[in-house]
Structure 1
Amino acid sequence: MASRDKKFIEERHAMIMKLVKEDGRVTVGDLCQRFSISVATARSDLDQLEKLGTIKRTHGGALAADRDEHPLPFSTRQKYYGSEKKAIGKAAVGLIKDGEVVFIDGGTTAAQMRLFLAEKQKLTIITPSIEIAYWLSSTPSISVYLLNGFLNRDSLASVGAPSEEAIARMNITRAFCGAAGFTLQDGLTDLGMGFVEQKRVICKLARKVVGLVDHTKIGVTSLASFAGLEDIETIVTDRPLPKDLLPALQERGIQVIVARA
């Protein structure tokens, strides 16, 4: 019961953040009416979101925080839809065979794959993620190649385009890439050009591309694309896709895996 209540609260927080982003502000009264919650609960929600840096509290409501000045840290972003991201990560690891060379990007969803890799044998993991590399450093059956680049402190990962010449020497079986958005028109998209440039190179050279996108990213287009539909082999998500999207992907031979939390 507690787990279900926590998931409901997380979903409500995500919807509040979406409202603030779209409208620029919300009021306590609006939240009470929209979500059928008490004034005390609405205020508590806003207080919690302000502590995470996602909004700025005002008298009677909240305003959108300056995301450029206060980007959300990796540890904060991991908390949202945490169980869903773990389910996606576990399902993604199920696609990996012993002995393969795979790329795992530095996003909060892809990072959950590290929790389920211990039983794999003779893997080589290419990643920009310091967290993934540190986690796997105690797993002798897995070799880790850490991509070089500038450190992005908010994601705990290196960013920037890696050397195509160096990556081309590696036989990358699959590239597992999180994204800030996924649509039929734009494919997999992301927020920062450093991440986009990095994943463009990897997806160009990998034999197969696997998109890891929770349901909040479906139908969303972010700053720039790093993989089109023609590049993608599989999409792993946490809820059934919209009825108009699933047939279009199946027509293109893209496998869709729904991972249940």
Structure 2
Amino acid sequence: MKINRIQKIRELLEDTHSISINTLCETFNVSKYTIRRDINELEQTGFLKKVYGGIVLQEHEHQSPEPFSLRKSRNVQAKKKIARIAASLVKDGDIIYIDSGTTTMHMLSFLTKHQHLTIVTASVYVINAAAALNQFNIIATGGTLYVPSMAFVGPTVLNCLKDYNISKAFMASTGVSIEHGATNASPLESEIKRSLMGKAAQKFLLADTSKLDVASLMSYCKLKDLYGVIMEKNPPAHYVEYLENNHVSLLTKEISSISSLK
């Protein structure tokens, strides 16, 4: 019944804080038209907010992402060091995914010595920077532009990622904690990051230490699910211990060969 379905949507949203329309359709085995009618009713009560492709709990509206232009000017030197370390993991002929983020974007300038490198990305910044260097094979996912991150989101991105075998994925996040893992403030970007975590690739998280003990709106992976975590310096001891216990490589310096990991 409709009233029961709407109540269940409320309960799910209170638990998860954000849900995609596709997930709701699968959960209740109804059409998108039906789900959108239910969402419109709930939106009128002020309980939720509609975003592209899904809904978020209204009380979390204040956690919407900061504009890209503000985030990219923060901790620049730490981000560049992390990007240099990440680039040292790349080999000639790799097919890599560079996530949208103000740390991952710095990787491009450190990849210029590589040959036959394919870069898959949803980041507008990475697309433009890679194209300007005129030496990489660039695969842009397409999709709907999400201005706060200057990146593409939506089903087009997810469908694109299904088609490619990626050897290494360099992931970004807005918060990192042992309890919540790698987190992001955008439900739509989180959906893309979860999709990447499901691929048979080495997944590396690039995060400066200012993001530690911060939990954004949505978790997209546990730290133990990563192949490696790259930071500008060693995190507190309990993070080091957690990563060691879960066989996740912690990288704070450039390496000469990826075979030296783990």
- When normalised by structure 1's length, the TM-score is 0.69
The aligned residue for residue 97 of structure 1 is 91
1:216 has 2:214 as partner: no
The aligned residue for residue 233 of structure 1 is 227
Q: CA 1:203 to 1:161, structure 2 compared with 1: closer, same or farther past 3 Å? A: farther
1:122 has 2:120 as partner: no
Deviation at 1:138, TM superposition (A): 3.3
The match for 1:108 among 99, 102, 113 is 102
Q: CA 1:69 to 1:253, structure 2 compared with 1: closer, same or farther past 3 Å? A: closer
Paired residues of 1:235 and 1:257 also in contact (CA < 8 A): yes
SS of corresponding position for 1:205: coil
Matched residues in 1 for 2:119 and 2:205: separation? 17
Give a deviation string over 1:23-81, Cα, whole Å, max 9, x none. Answer: xxxxxxxxxxxxxxxxxxxxxxxxxxxxxxxxxxxxxxxxxxxx859964322211110
Give a deviation string over 1:101-142, Cα, whole Å, max 9, x none. Answer: 111111101111112111111111111111111111133431
Paired residues of 1:90 and 1:116 also in contact (CA < 8 A): yes
Q: Which amino acid aligns with 2:181?
A: G
The aligned residue for residue 170 of structure 2 is 176
The match for 1:191 among 164, 185, 198 is 185
Deviation at 1:179, TM superposition (A): 0.5
Matched residues in 2 for 1:185 and 1:156: separation? 28
The aligned residue for residue 252 of structure 1 is 246
Paired residues of 1:179 and 1:213 also in contact (CA < 8 A): yes
The sequence identity of aligned pairs, in percent, is 28
SS of corresponding position for 2:69: helix
Alignment of 1:38-117 (within 5 A): 72-117=66-111
Unaligned runs of 5+ in 1: 1-66
SS of corresponding position for 1:97: coil
Matched residues in 2 for 1:239 and 1:177: separation? 18
Q: CA 1:259 to 1:161, structure 2 compared with 1: closer, same or farther past 3 Å? A: farther
Tell me which protein shows more helix as a share of its residues: 2
The aligned residue for residue 136 of structure 2 is 142
- Count of residue pairs the alignment pairs up: 194
Q: Which amino acid aligns with 1:169?
A: D
Deviation at 1:163, TM superposition (A): 5.6
Q: CA 1:68 to 1:230, structure 2 compared with 1: closer, same or farther past 3 Å? A: closer
- When normalised by structure 2's length, the TM-score is 0.68
Matched residues in 1 for 2:165 and 2:86: separation? 19
Deviation at 1:231, TM superposition (A): 2.2
Deviation at 1:161, TM superposition (A): 4.6
Q: Whose RCO is larger (CA < 8 A, sep 6+)?
A: 2
The aligned residue for residue 46 of structure 2 is none
Give a deviation string over 1:210-248, Cα, whole Å, max 9, x none. Answer: 001111111222111112234200000112111111011
Q: CA 1:247 to 1:230, structure 2 compared with 1: closer, same or farther past 3 Å? A: closer
The aligned residue for residue 26 of structure 2 is none
Q: Which amino acid aligns with 1:220?
A: V
Deviation at 1:170, TM superposition (A): 1.4
Give a deviation string over 1:163-200, Cα, whole Å, max 9, x none. Answer: 65542331111111110111222221111101101111
Unaligned runs of 5+ in 2: 1-60, 255-262
Q: CA 1:68 to 1:118, structure 2 compared with 1: closer, same or farther past 3 Å? A: same
Matched residues in 1 for 2:128 and 2:84: separation? 19
Q: Which amino acid aligns with 2:86?
A: A
